[in-house]
């Protein structure tokens, strides 16, 4: 099983027990940094958010079946008080635990069902090449991305192409400009900063509306994505859940990025691009 599959097995088989991200990562045989990215790539959910959604869903079922003690249901769902459980329950379902118990029904609720992972390996991922890259600077359109708003990234690229001329100190000519989609500053909830940008020589004249990042000197595993850009998640999933666990490499907690050269057509989304993953080992 890959890390996401192992995590799902552990979560479902220990749902009523306390668990931490570190424990889930250990079961998956990877670092917490790796697990956050592998799980999100495979399922579309942050790890611990999925755990909470599953616990609240099972709690809702218990209440609909007439569980007499809401505090016991709350404690089993790993909430320390009736109040904390009620807040989380209302935030998730828009109803109180008492209301669901009185209704004796969950049909109106958006329950999180267990995710069944497809264990079939992807045969389309080609072996990467390895590159050592010097530090460089990227500036462009930046947003904080979560599992709820990842669909805004294509719009960020549209804004980038509209505002590219306003980014000073660009390296390269516009007609053959290499663009970068940088993922950085990730947290344990699966949120990260995304910058749709271009390499620049310095930030001194860069307007405040643009994001900026210095990407450190680093060794990378470089994967080629040849399909349409919309299918990138499939390749990212295969990298984090198939290639990395069996490669002997460890992912570094550093920015990773997509690299779009002149072969990529931003109008059609075709032409292919590269995915650079920072590694050691």
Given pLDDT bands bounded at 50, 70 and 90, which one contains residue 175?
low
Supply the mean pLDDT for the chain. Answer: 93
Is 149 a member of any domain? Answer: yes
- Mean pLDDT lowest among 15-19, 47-51, 179-183: 15-19
Given pLDDT bands bounded at 50, 70 and 90, which one contains residue 13?
confident
Q: For the CA atoms of the chain, what is the radius of gyration?
A: 22
Is 122 a member of any domain? Answer: no
219 strand-pairing partners: 132
Q: Which two tokens stand for residue 122?
A: 């992807």
Helix, strand, coil percentages in the chain from 3-state DSSP, rounded to 5:
40, 20, 40
Residues 149 and 15 in one domain: no
Is 201 a member of any domain? Answer: yes
SS3 call for 164: helix
Answer yes or no: is pLDDT of 176 > 90: no
Q: State the first-to-last Cα distance of the chain, in angstroms, to the nearest integer.
A: 22
CATH number at residue 244: 3.20.80.10
Residues 182 and 266 in one domain: yes
Distance CA 142, CA 46 (A): 21
Question: What domain range is 20 assigned to?
Answer: 3-103
Query: What is the reported pLDDT for 180?
Result: 98
Residues 91 and 152 in one domain: no
Given pLDDT bands bounded at 50, 70 and 90, which one contains residue 116?
confident
Answer yes or no: is pLDDT of 123 > 90: no
Distance CA 258, CA 9 (A): 31
Q: Which two tokens stand for residue 88?
A: 């989380």
Residues 186 and 94 in one domain: no
Q: How many domains are contained in the chain?
A: 2
Mean pLDDT of 50-76: 95
CATH number at residue 77: 1.10.10.60
Q: How crowded is the C-beta side of 236, counted as CA atoms within 13 Å? A: 21
Answer yes or no: is pLDDT of 119 > 80: no
More confident residue, 103 or 151: 103
Answer yes or no: is pLDDT of 174 > 70: no
Q: Are 177 and 198 in contact (CB under 8 A)?
A: yes
Mean pLDDT of 140-163: 91
The predicted model scores a pTM of 0.83
Answer yes or no: is pLDDT of 65 > 80: yes
Answer yes or no: is pLDDT of 263 > 60: yes
Distance CA 69, CA 59 (A): 11
Which alpha helices (DSSP H) does 114-267 contain, by range? 153-163, 232-238, 244-247
Q: Are 271 and 244 in contact (CB under 8 A)?
A: no
Query: What is the reported pLDDT for 209?
Result: 96
Exposed, middle or buried: residue 273 (CB in 10 Å: 0-12, 13-18, 19+)? Answer: buried
Answer yes or no: is pLDDT of 145 > 70: yes
Answer yes or no: is pLDDT of 120 > 80: no
């Amino acid at each position: 099983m890959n890390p996401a599959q192992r995590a799902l097995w552990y979560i479902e088989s220990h749902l009523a027990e306390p668990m931490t991200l570190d424990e889930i990562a250990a079961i998956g045989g990877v670092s917490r940094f790796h697990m956050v990215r592998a799980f999100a790539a495979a399922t579309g959910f942050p790890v611990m958010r999925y755990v909470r959604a599953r616990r609240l869903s099972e709690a809702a079922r218990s209440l609909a079946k007439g569980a007499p003690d809401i505090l016991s249901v709350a404690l089993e769902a790993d909430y320390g008080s009736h109040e904390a459980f009620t807040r989380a329950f209302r935030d998730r379902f828009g109803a109180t635990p008492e209301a669901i118990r009185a209704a004796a029904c969950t049909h109106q609720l958006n329950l999180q069902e267990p995710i069944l992972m497809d264990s079939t390996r992807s045969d389309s991922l080609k072996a990467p090449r390895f590159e050592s890259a010097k530090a460089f600077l990227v500036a462009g359109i930046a947003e904080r991305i979560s599992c709820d708003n990842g669909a805004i990234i294509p719009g960020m690229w549209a804004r980038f192409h509209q505002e590219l001329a306003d980014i000073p100190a660009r390296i390269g000519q516009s007609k053959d400009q290499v663009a970068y989609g940088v993922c950085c500053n990730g947290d344990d909830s699966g949120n990260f900063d995304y910058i749709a940008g271009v390499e620049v020589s310095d930030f001194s004249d860069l307007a405040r509306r643009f994001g900026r990042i210095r990407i450190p000197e680093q060794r990378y595993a470089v994967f080629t994505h040849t399909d349409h850009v919309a299918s990138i998640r499939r390749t990212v999933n295969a990298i984090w859940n198939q290639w990395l666990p069996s490669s002997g490499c460890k992912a570094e907690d550093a920015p990773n990025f997509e690299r779009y050269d002149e072969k990529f057509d931003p109008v059609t989304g075709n032409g292919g691009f590269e995915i650079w993953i920072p590694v050691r080992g």
